[in-house]
Structure 1
């Protein structure tokens, strides 16, 4: 490739590139086929194929390899997708630059949270925010932690509260609280109600867990705890939502992990029973994640600042739920 070739001149690409083509490409990159993308956009398949061809002509690179049974981004496609996602988020948030110039905060805040985020600290910050700004509105999307982080990176949510594995250089992180996971069973389970249990009693029993309960994932400490308990190799059921893991445990599908402070009420109500180990339970940190590069409306910035202030003012021992 000749780097001086006119087709690669930045000014030409900036002048001729149609934003709608980038928007279409983001959807294509996140789809399984051109037909799938066309269905999402409610367009005909030839229209979307033509748009892809136009974009490839504009950037001078093949972006998606397509053949029967094969649909994958090229190296150039992956590079363009990373940039287009961020541009897409910025365009979608342009309206925040036009916010009303009044003292009354009326903006909308969209938060992505993992399903097991149970923290008085977060509740306190939300209550304080609503009392001070009753006209601001809020949406909370319950997602897997990986999807929550992707939404922040794409600037589709104001911020996320979730588990974090590897840190992305484009995002900011602050630990909100630390929770400890224990193992529990439900009333139908043969171990339920027994207070004489040792960890050896769990050997061979079936288990249920979270989708991220893997050695290479964010719940690795929970995976290790299950292995030490010698639970059966086969996991009977999995979910990314705490409520569904809890449901499967209560239904007797197997022994499963839950944050101890979240399960405490069900234990008191006789719906769950904690089994060994009881000591040295694995700690899991839950983080607040946001993008400084995302333009925020007044409501988003005020709530984010309020959460950060609450975290800063609360000692870590008061943010650790044993």
Structure 2
């Protein structure tokens, strides 16, 4: 009897209900799930009710101000993620030829990742497998981690504060940060400056420039040097921090190798301290348990091999920082 019910369930279930439930949990709400799926809220609510009817149990506790996934819902969500991970690889599995690698690789990057090693690996991979396509997204580092955990992206590149225990993190490269100001700033173009000259100046930085966050070495330097000027701008994206610095909102930290061209063009001016700049590691992250397409597995293996074979000193930018 139990086996017959199980078989009937497989034939009766609308698989779209499972996809909708997975998105509801990921988006932490009915309304946001509707926006993600481009469906109206009543449609999402009805899908959840139907799914709970199929299982004859509550999957999500939802009352005004409360949204909690039940233990049964958590178990179902984990299976939904694994299920859709498998389904996503079916097209490639069917169409792949033994001697030709095809398919699409989704990657998520923190803003303005500049890593010559990574660029060389991708160029070489494209030469070897020209039919593989790539889709990349630029997110905050925390969103990159979430994207990889959800299997929206196969591989991520990001800063790291708190490890997701389900993911693996490998240091991809190390970058040195310096302080910079824009042409509008009163210190632009001045030589012979000391750190003391910055202490009361307005400041622009990243949202993670905190002692308990990913850019803690920068926060520590700011604390040690007693920078007490007002913070006039923050962002989680490097380009926006740079935009505010160039616009004259204040001085702030930027990766030295990333803004070398801006310095040469006269948009930015390097400020002290010049010796022993703060260093930040940027990580490659992936789910070691995820089912990967052939293309994803080949790229990840190539990345990990190059990381293992290349000393960190050769993956530190700028190269004269070591």
TM-score bracket, normalised by the shorter chain, equals 0.7 to 0.9
**Distance in 1 of aligned mates of 2:7 and 2:163:** 31
1:101 deviates by: 2.3
5+ residue gaps, structure 2: none
Alpha-carbon separation, structure 1, partners of 2:66 and 2:172: 40
* Separation (CA, whole Å) in 2 of partners of 1:15 and 1:213: 55
Q: State the Cα distance separating 1:165 from its structure 2 match.
A: 2.2
2:162 to 159, 166, 169: 166
Matches within 5 A, 1:3-14: none
Give runs of aligned pairs for residues 148-159 of structure 1, distance below 5 A.
Answer: 148-159=144-155
Alpha-carbon distance in 1 for matches of 2:206, 2:184: 20
- Which of 269, 274, 278 is the matching residue for 2:274? 278
TM-score (norm 2): 0.86
Q: Which residue of 2 aligns with 1:186?
A: 182
Q: Which residue of 2 aligns with 1:27?
A: 23
Partner of 2:63: 66
Residue in structure 2 matched with residue 300 of structure 1 by the alignment: 296
CA deviation string 1:111-134 (max 9, x = no partner): 111113111101110111111122
Local SS of the residue matching 1:312: helix
> Using a 3 Å threshold, how does the CA distance of structure 1 residues 32 and 142 change in structure 2: closer, same or farther?
same
State how 1:29-178 maps to structure 2 within 5 Å. 29-31=25-27, 33-57=29-53, 58=55, 60-67=57-64, 70-76=65-71, 77=73, 80-81=76-77, 84-178=80-174
> What SS does the aligned partner of 2:196 have?
helix
Q: How many residues align?
A: 313
Query: Secondary structure in 1 aligned to 2:166?
Result: coil
Residues 204, 119 of structure 1: alpha-carbon distance in 2 compared, 3 angstrom cutoff:
same
**CA distances 1:210-259 after superposition (whole Å, capped 9, x unpaired):** 22222222111122222333334642122222122111111111111111
> C-alpha distance in 1, partners of 2:128/2:149?
29
Q: 1:318 to 1:35 in 2, by over 3 A?
A: closer
User: Who is 2:306 aligned against?
Assistant: 310
> Match of 1:112, SS?
strand
Measure the CA separation in 2 of the matches of 1:285 and 1:11.
54
The verdict on how the C-alpha distance between 1:94 and 1:49 changes in structure 2, with shifts beyond 3 A counting, is same
